[in-house]
Structure 1
Amino acid sequence: MGRSNRAGRARTETEPNPAAPGGPSGAARTRSQGPLARQVGSGLAELVPDRDRPHAWTLLVDGAPQSLVDLADPTYLGFEYQRRLGHVIDLAAAPGKPVTVLHLGGGALTLARYVAATRPRSRQQVAEIDTALTELVRAELPLERGWQVKVRGADARAVLERTPEGAVDLVIADVFAGARVPAHCATVEFATLAARALAPGGRYAVNITDGSALLFARSQVATLRAVFPEVCLVADPAVLRGKRFGNLILVAAQQPLPLDELSRRVASDSYFGRVEHGRSLADFTAGAVPATDATAAPSPAPPPGVFH
């Protein structure tokens, strides 16, 4: 779920990406049709044309930005959190190598499109509980023909529980109920299920939001550190200082993470960010305790006006 300002591209080319074969598998929405608003299971979904990119659309649900999709260039990642998850995807394997990905939370399928375009022949499953939202996205912002993306209309945790052990290279959790991460998807038990689903060398990436004292973020770091030996956090320094509400990306694995390359990519991005790990991450946690199914609470609601 998008919580931050827009940014530049994740790729340097200016023409539509040639990796997308055959065009969308359906009649894609055009700018001339204007905005669209429709009630879905999670609220009022809106598709708003981008001011600067003629084939790009922003998905909002109840006024909160969820996803940005450029139908002409699926490698374009316009939201801060999506760009940072894009770095994780880029480092998941050798460039262009197919991977198996489980997306928990779908939105407009921006990251699934990115994986399909940058890593052809990848196999992807998406868990999106709001089937009406998925139907809207697939009708108005259709996927390219030939992409192996399966969307399941089910709760993210239920899908994770049914995922076979060692089945995927990457689990990406971007699970929001309204504008908050639900408690049952932010626990040690949930992270343990994600760890079980990962193949050797696999990685778990999580998008959360927080602000002010960052109590939820600190608890989430402690939660992942209780399950995974390797954890890092990526965020804007202003968010880390509690100066503004925003996104934080957590990445976890059983093996060492590519911290040097991830740090280089984050530092050179058009969004200013920082990677915390090791001692600095332990200091950030500041004695927070892991969240369990018995103790977890959802992430805090965004402050009024944060999306305006």
Structure 2
Amino acid sequence: MHALPPLRAVEIFETLGHSQSLQEAAQRLQITPGAVSQQLKLLEQEVGTSLTYREGKRLRLTAAGTRYHQLCTQAFELLREAQQEMERARNTSMLSISAVPSLLKTWVAPLIFEWQEQHDPLLTLHLKGSHAEPDLEAEHIDFRITYGQTGLRSSNHTELYTDLVVPACSPQLLGSLGSLQHPRDILNYPLLSSDWQPRFTSPPSWREWFEAALVSLDAQPLDSFRIFSLSHMAIDAAVAGQGFVLAQCSMIQQELAQGKLILPFSLALPLPWPYVLSWRSGSFENPSSRQFHRWLLSRGRFQATANQSMLQQAQCRWPLT
């Protein structure tokens, strides 16, 4: 087995390769340019070939130096990642949480900030909104909150709750355009909807809701929707009076309480899949992670009950069972 060259010389060469300047590399490493040059010469002696050549005032990498630098960079990136992981593992005052963007904005963030204040105001929360499913182990993410079958693939997971969608609109929309006597009257208004394809199964459609409400569509076209890829964008449009939205109950609690949205009808349809909580294998080594896990499961159970209560308490003009 061949002996490795001095690690310090390799580290200096890796830095020099990014800057291609003795002075800049010396500044980054907080050593003198002479020390950089000396370590470079030592490394070239160890590997038995020239790694750089001069071009004016700059140092360029030779072909061998370019390939060697690429491999050295990969090795040092792994070492840096390993160091960062050890630092994160020691840091019990941080919690990293990933979630689908709309749920993060409307449900997770407001709740978790309240929990943070009660549990540990000094706890650092790292919240990441992403539709792409992260590698929890590689990215050192403690928890992932996602939708549907995607989350059920994780070896460590549990269901949180299954949301419901219900028609909602701004009270100003009805005040300016008339009133509703029957669910079919919604067809007189712009329809806002969400489409999560192809990554996730989309929520129930307006066509499905009208069928459940026993509204005969006949030849009524339902293709001229205002379609959003993010649920909270469709909800924001409804708050702005741009139409009726099939909104997820868990995402409109605040808007209902503030009178920004109303529920003219109480018929709600469940989403095809539940929201799912998954976690990396070492998460529970952190006491805050264990407490967050228990707390979020209880919030999921509470949300399922709150959804039903929301529908029962709504001032519905034409209640449906």
TM-score after normalising by structure 2: 0.22
TM-score after normalising by structure 1: 0.23
Relative contact order higher in (CA < 8 Å, ≥ 6 apart): 2
More helix by share: 2
More strand by share: 1
